Chain A
Amino acid sequence: MRETAMQRQKTSSWLNIGSNFNTMTWVLIPVAIAINIAIGQIVVLLKLPVFLDSIGTVLVAALCGPWAGAVTGALSNTIWGLAIDPNALPWWPVAFFIGLVAGLCANAGLFKSWWKVVVTGFLVALTAATISTPIAVYLYGGITASGSSFITAYLLQTGQGVLQAVFSTSFLVEPVDKITTCMLAFAIVQGLSKRFVARFPRPENVEAEGGANQTQLYIAVGVVVLLVLFAAFMLRNVLGG
């Protein structure tokens, strides 16, 4: 089918919601949601201090686009809330924006090598912290049914403002989770055949550049470890200070 230059320009605009969705997208989304929930539950089983419940969302965002990712996140969150833990329900905007931002980063070429994926993870974490703070504050007064609320509570007791305390908590907790999530999603995409990936709306988002090799992986892991140490250090300062 011939495509005019204008049509091509139109489909590359990130505002073109429809371009995110072809039949493969619609079939992928349920699988991605199921992946989100299954891995999220496995992580609880393994008692790891992360959520990892957005891997599917990031996967869809990278392969299909920001809006598909956003839809995946929102639906995933809603279904988790209705079937597993009702406390998850009000957080759907967070999941929505995780998908949206991950997709925008992928569109901007930030899903093509390990270190770029780390950057994406960081940006997604920032988004998650930003969006979740007002929800936590308005709906729950800052204290949610989550373990990290203990940190928030302590910060509050030391006199910090509510918004600040909640944001600080998120900012300490999210990066590890979201960077790991994005890296795992990247690993999954690299494991898929090129023919398969080509069927989705945005296969170019995940064309690995030279950087998708072992050395880069170690660098990326190193960055994550540094971040974790940094977060722990900040935490100790904040709490013990």
Chain B
Amino acid sequence: MHERLSFYIKRDSALHHLNPLTKLTLVFGLVLISFLSPWYWTPHTLLMLVIIPLSFIGKVNREFFRAFLRLILPAASFLFLMQAFFQPIGGHVIFKIWFLDITQESLMFAFRNAIRIIVMVSSFTLFLLTTHPSELMSDLTRRGLPGQFAYVIISTLQILPQMQAKAQTIISAQRSRGLDTQSSFFRRVGSLGPLVGPLVFGSLVEVEERAIAIEARGFTSTHTKTSLYDIPDTNLDRTIRWILIALVILVIALKIWLS
């Protein structure tokens, strides 16, 4: 049973040992570079030469590819098809389907956009696979993120699976009372009430007691917060971060210079 929503896989790898902020910088760096670079083949190169190798370095390649095939590829493919077929760009028509003209320009455009999205999502996935949420939040809090934000994020990650389990129970219960996901439109709309009501009200009543409980543990205390764990930040981390920032600036400069 998943008690928490977390991609994190515990392994002993170079990526796992990196400071969370470094990995976060890596993600944003990859995304910015792939979106801003003037060179057409940037996203594809980043995917092949950076992201996929990193998944091996991080020893999470199997999970990464599973997520890739299950989540990322279908979403990107749908996007690719939509853009290739419905973006009227350019005039070099390669073939026609029904009333749609498929141009080479559309294909190229769609291909790059799809790969850009893949770069974005897969780098985030890699990040999540190699970084424990607690670790990330501890580090960010140490650097100045308000403790309340860290609380909200981790609490959400733990509440979500519970809510989904609750929803499953309610759906099953309603099914045994005749809920049918194939029935008429109006009946489906009507069934929204009995599904949503118990779920929502059941979760809201907890809010007051939980607020009291965390207040009783100093949630709104104005003391400087300390942290149970020490998250190391090495010279390697700092170097990587600076290189990434420099690369992003370089790409932005190139884009401005070339346009």
Are A and B in contact, CB atoms below 8 Å, in the complex? yes
Q: How many residues of B contact A (CB 8 A)?
A: 61
Contacts A27-B210, A86-B75, A87-B117 given; does A140 touch B203 at CB 8 Å = no
Are A143 and B83 neighbours in the complex by a CB distance under 8 Å? yes
Q: Which of B155, B196, B199 has the most CB of A within 10 A?
A: B196
Contact check: which of B78, B160, B215 meets A23 at CB < 8 Å?
B215
Q: Size range of the interface on A?
A: 35 or more
Q: Mark B189-209, 1 if CB is under 8 A from A, else 0.
A: 101100110011101111110
Interface of B is mostly: helix
Contact of B156 among A48, A79, A139 (CB under 8 A): A79
Whether the Cβ atoms of A31 and B113 lie closer than 8 Å is no
B window 17-54: CB within 8 A of A: none
Interface residues of A in 1-44 (CB under 8 A from B): 21, 23-24, 26-31, 33-35, 37-39, 41-43
In the bound complex, do residue B199 and residue A35 qualify as a contact, i.e. CB atoms below 8 Å apart?
Answer: yes
Given contacts A153-B86, A156-B88, contact A30 B156 (CB under 8 A): yes
- A233 beta carbon closer than 8 Å to chain B: no
A240 near B: Cβ within 8 Å? no
CB-CB contacts below 8 Å: A104-152 with B: 139-145, 149-150, 152
Cross-chain contact A86 with B156 (CB below 8 angstroms)? no
Main secondary structure of the interface of A (DSSP, over half): helix
Give 21 pairs: A residue, B residue, CB < 8 Å, sorted on A.
Answer: A23-B214, A23-B220, A26-B151, A31-B159, A42-B171, A46-B181, A48-B189, A75-B152, A83-B160, A85-B75, A143-B83, A143-B87, A144-B82, A145-B82, A149-B82, A153-B82, A153-B86, A196-B204, A196-B205, A196-B207, A196-B208
- Having A31-B206, A157-B88, A192-B201, one finds 10 other A-B pairs with CB under 8 Å, namely A23-B219, A27-B211, A29-B152, A31-B159, A79-B156, A82-B124, A87-B75, A145-B78, A152-B86, A156-B88
